[in-house]
Structure 1
Amino acid sequence: MPRLRSIAVLGVVLLVTATAAQAERAPTSGDFAGPVDVDGRMLYLECKGTGSPTVILISGYRNNAEIWTTPPGPGITPVFAAVAGFTRACTYDRPGTILDATHLSRSDPVPMPRTAEAVASELHDLLDSAKIEGPYVLVAHSLGGLFARLYAGTYPNDVAGLVLVDAWPEAMPKLLGPGQWAAYVTLSDPAPPGLESYSDLESIDFGAASERMAQEAARRPLFGLPLFVLSHAKPVALPPNVPAEFSQAGFEAAWRKGQDELAALLPDAHHIVATESDHYIQIEQPDLVIDAVRAVVEAVRDPASWGQGAQ
Structure 2
Amino acid sequence: MRQSRGRAVPVNGRSVYVEESGTGPDHVVFEAGAGMGRTCWDPVLPLLADRARLVAYDRAGAGRSGRTQGRPSIDDLAADLVALTGAVVPGRFVLVAHSMGGLVARRAAAALGPRLRGLLLLDPTAETAPVYDTFDRTVVQVDRTMAVMQALVRFRPLARLGSGSVRRAFPADTYAAMLAEDLVPAGIAQTRKEVKAVAEAIPRFRAEPPAPPSCPTVLLSASRPQPGRARHHAGLVEHQRRWAESLPDGRFEPADSGHLVQAEQPAIVAARVRELLDASETGEEAR
TM-score where L is the length of structure 2? 0.76
Q: Is the 8 A contact 1:54 1:87 kept in 2?
A: yes
Deviation at 1:177, TM superposition (A): 6.2
The 3-state SS of whatever aligns with 1:56 is strand
Aligned match of 1:65: 38
1:231 corresponds, among 214, 221, 232, to: 221
The alpha-carbon distance between structure 1 residues 299 and 35, as it changes in their structure 2 partners (threshold 3 A), is: same
Aligned match of 1:242: none
Aligned match of 2:267: 287
- Rounded Cα–Cα distance in structure 2 between residues aligned with 1:46 and 1:177: 33
Residues 35-70 of structure 1: CA deviation (Å, up to 9, x unaligned): 22336643110111233431101100110110002x
Q: Is the 8 A contact 2:15 2:60 kept in 1?
A: no
4+ aligned runs moved over 6 Å, structure 1 = none
Aligned length: 244
Deviation at 1:280, TM superposition (A): 0.3
1:89 to 2:54 alignment: yes
The alpha-carbon distance between structure 1 residues 196 and 294, as it changes in their structure 2 partners (threshold 3 A), is: closer
Deviation at 1:250, TM superposition (A): 2.9
Aligned match of 1:113: 71
Aligned match of 1:206: 198
Deviation at 1:95, TM superposition (A): 2.6
Gap runs ≥5 in structure 2: 154-182
- Rounded Cα–Cα distance in structure 2 between residues aligned with 1:213 and 1:256: 18
Alignment of 1:235-246 (within 5 A): 235-236=225-226
Aligned match of 1:18: none
**Higher gyration radius (CA):** 1
Deviation at 1:157, TM superposition (A): 2.6
Aligned match of 1:163: 120
Gap runs ≥5 in structure 1: 1-30, 70-77, 98-104, 238-246, 306-311
Deviation at 1:152, TM superposition (A): 0.5
The percent identity for this pair of structures is: 30
1:176 to 2:141 alignment: no
The 3-state SS of whatever aligns with 1:201 is helix
1:221 to 2:212 alignment: yes
1:133 to 2:109 alignment: no
Aligned match of 1:270: 251
Higher relative contact order (CA 8 A, sep 6+): 2
Deviation at 1:106, TM superposition (A): 0.3
- Rounded Cα–Cα distance in structure 1 between residues aligned with 2:97 and 2:141: 22
The alpha-carbon distance between structure 1 residues 137 and 58, as it changes in their structure 2 partners (threshold 3 A), is: same
The alpha-carbon distance between structure 1 residues 290 and 216, as it changes in their structure 2 partners (threshold 3 A), is: farther
TM-score where L is the length of structure 1? 0.70
The 3-state SS of whatever aligns with 1:164 is strand
Deviation at 1:200, TM superposition (A): 4.6
- Rounded Cα–Cα distance in structure 1 between residues aligned with 2:205 and 2:105: 10
Deviation at 1:183, TM superposition (A): 5.6
- Rounded Cα–Cα distance in structure 1 between residues aligned with 2:114 and 2:284: 20
1:51 corresponds, among 24, 30, 44, to: 24
2:80 corresponds, among 80, 104, 122, to: 122
- Rounded Cα–Cα distance in structure 1 between residues aligned with 2:239 and 2:141: 19
More helix by share: 2
The 3-state SS of whatever aligns with 1:111 is coil
